[in-house]
Structure 1
Amino acid sequence: MSDKPEGQNPSDLRGALERVVDERSFIDFLNVLASDWFEAPSLSGWESGSIGAFLDAAARWAEASENGLRFYDVPSNPWRRVADMLIAGKEYE
């Protein structure tokens, strides 16, 4: 049995993020995010090389963006806000 989620398209990560509106769509996003990691973390923009670094980056970005950023408005939907934090954990240094 593989740890890799099946049937997900890693190139659809941004699309999955945009579709987050509720618990089901958040779970779909998590599956695509996991698939993106399993495909090739160093080639798909993952700045964090460990779960600890990923969570640290997500937490630091969440704190920095708590009141919004120049190009980021905090969404009113908490599922989307958490998805934004996780995608930032992938990309934030």
Structure 2
Amino acid sequence: MLGGVLVAPASADEPSPKSAPVLRFLNYNICGSNDEPESVTPCGPDRDGVKSRVDVLKGLVADWDSDLVFLQEVCRSQYDELMKVLKPKGYGAASPS
């Protein structure tokens, strides 16, 4: 008796330039120009500073219907807040170091 698994050869989609789906990328520096008063640090204990930046980004992701989102200067508290909202919508992330 012989046993085995039959596997079809893998093949990639080969879309043409006319049929390829449009991809939307969002690139955002959360700290921006850091033009806030010194009493409000984006990564400090001020929850309003973290919340306002996260709220802006949530709106941008939704407005642009982004496929990929690239972030710079993300504080851990911002990352955690964003992932609470974005993970249920299908976004994944590489954890910041």
TM normalised by structure 1 equals: 0.33
The structure richer in strand per residue is 2
The structure richer in helix per residue is 1
